[in-house]
Every structure is written in structure tokens, then in C-alpha cells.
């Protein structure tokens, strides 16, 4: 018989299979709330920009080689490294946007999940707090998001829904407050 700590440790390293099982168990209970991610587009402008960044060096490869030949080996290394790091950061950002696009947070009687990114049972969540976003590019705030805390087990977990583009209307925040209050999950203020 495994103790609760051993089961928690085993679940942590179960990976995607463990998460799929949790999602299926949570999905079977009655749905209370459904919230779509704000990252619905998937970054089509970013994809066009990435294609242009890749195509431009191919078109102007002779000019780029001539510029690099004029530089010392140290400068060449720095320039190439900067370009590679910029492209890596841009591709990673695009990957994360695509990973989160079109995802939906589903809150049920048994827990919360966003397939395949996160799944957590209510019994494992100790507390939560509202998180107000900073201003976006247009100068408007995105709204409120929620952070759930699982302090059980060897390594506490934090589920910041803002990372996934999940923002709540005031009515939805009130619904989450009611659900958590009913389940005995403490709200952190401040």
C-alpha cells in the first residue's frame, strides 16, 4: 500500500499518461464553468513575420556573407549568436502561442482541466487568489485571472491561469469564489 506522499511522487513523474487519466476522471463529473483562452488566433501575424525573417537571409545571402567577411571572427561569432538566439526566442514564443491557442478551461465538480496542459482535482487545491493583469499593447487591462495553489506533496504546485490566456469576467470570478467556498478552498487576498 502506497502512502499519500508516494502516490503524489508517482503522479508527478507519470507524465502525460497520468494527466490524461486525471482529465478523463475530471471530465466525467458535471461541468460548472467553461472559459475560452484569449489566445484564439494562434499568431498568424507572427507566423508571417517568421517566414519573412527566414526568407530575407535567403534572398540577400550574398550581402550577408560580404558583411560577415568584413568583420573579425569574434564579431562574426557575436552577430551569428545574436541572430540564432533571437530566432530561438521568437520560435519558442510562437510555439507557446500555438500550444495555448483555442484551449478551454473547464471547471467541474471534481476539479479543473485544460486538455492537455493541466489537470487538478479540487481535493489537491489548498488555496487560490485573483490576479489582475497588467496593461496589454492597446493600454487596456485584460481582466482578472486566477492562481490555484496545490501545497500538498513534496513540491508545491502553482497553476497561474494567466499563462494560458484565461481571463474571467466578474460573474465568472464570483462563480469560482462560490465553488471554492463550497469546497473549503481558502481565498488569499492582497
Cβ contact 113:128 at 8 Å? no
**What's the count of helices (H) and strands (E) in the chain, helices before strands?**
6, 8
Determine phi and psi for 112, rounding to 5 degrees: -125, 150
Distance, CA of 24 to CA of 106 (rounded, Å): 12
When pLDDT is averaged across residues 25-31 and rounded to a whole number, the result is: 87
Q: Mind listing the pLDDT tens digit for each residue in 150-178?
A: 877 778 888 888 877 788 888 888 998 99
The grid coordinates of residue 96 equal: 507557446
Domain spans of the chain? 4-38+104-184, 44-99
Specify the pLDDT at position 82.
87
Q: Mind listing the pLDDT tens digit for each residue in 67-78?
A: 888 888 898 888
Higher pLDDT among residues 141 and 115, named by residue: 115
Q: Measuring CA to CA, which residue among 116, 93, 96 is closest to residue 106? A: 116
Determine phi and psi for 88, rounding to 5 degrees: -65, -45
Specify the pLDDT at position 100.
60
CA 102 to chain centre: 12
Distance, CA of 23 to CA of 37 (rounded, Å): 18
Cβ contact 164:37 at 8 Å? yes
When pLDDT is averaged across residues 108-129 and rounded to a whole number, the result is: 86
pTM check: above 0.85: no
Q: Measuring CA to CA, which residue among 137, 132, 109, 140 is closest to residue 122? A: 109
Question: Strands 127-132 and 144-150: what pairing?
Answer: antiparallel
Q: Mind listing the pLDDT tens digit for each residue in 121-133?
A: 888 888 889 887 6
Amino acid at each position: 500500500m502506497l502512502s499519500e506522499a508516494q502516490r503524489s511522487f508517482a503522479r508527478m513523474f507519470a507524465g502525460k499518461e497520468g494527466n490524461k487519466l486525471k482529465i478523463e476522471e475530471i471530465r466525467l463529473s458535471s461541468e460548472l464553468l467553461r472559459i475560452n483562452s484569449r489566445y484564439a488566433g494562434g499568431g498568424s501575424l507572427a507566423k508571417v513575420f517568421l517566414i519573412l525573417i527566414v526568407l530575407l537571409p535567403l534572398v540577400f545571402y550574398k550581402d550577408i556573407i560580404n558583411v560577415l567577411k568584413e568583420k573579425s571572427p569574434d564579431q562574426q561569432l557575436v552577430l551569428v549568436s545574436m541572430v540564432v538566439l533571437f530566432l530561438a526566442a521568437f520560435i519558442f514564443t510562437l510555439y507557446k502561442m500555438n500550444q495555448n491557442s483555442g484551449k478551454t478551461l473547464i471547471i467541474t465538480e471534481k476539479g479543473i482541466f485544460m486538455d492537455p496542459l493541466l489537470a487538478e482535482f479540487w481535493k489537491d487545491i489548498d488555496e487560490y487568489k485573483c490576479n489582475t493583469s497588467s496593461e496589454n499593447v492597446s493600454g487596456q487591462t485584460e481582466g482578472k485571472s486566477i492562481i490555484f495553489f496545490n501545497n500538498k506533496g513534496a513540491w508545491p504546485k502553482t497553476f497561474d491561469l494567466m499563462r494560458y490566456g484565461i481571463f474571467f469576467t466578474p460573474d465568472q470570478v464570483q462563480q469560482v469564489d462560490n465553488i471554492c467556498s463550497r469546497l473549503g478552498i481558502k481565498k488569499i487576498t492582497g
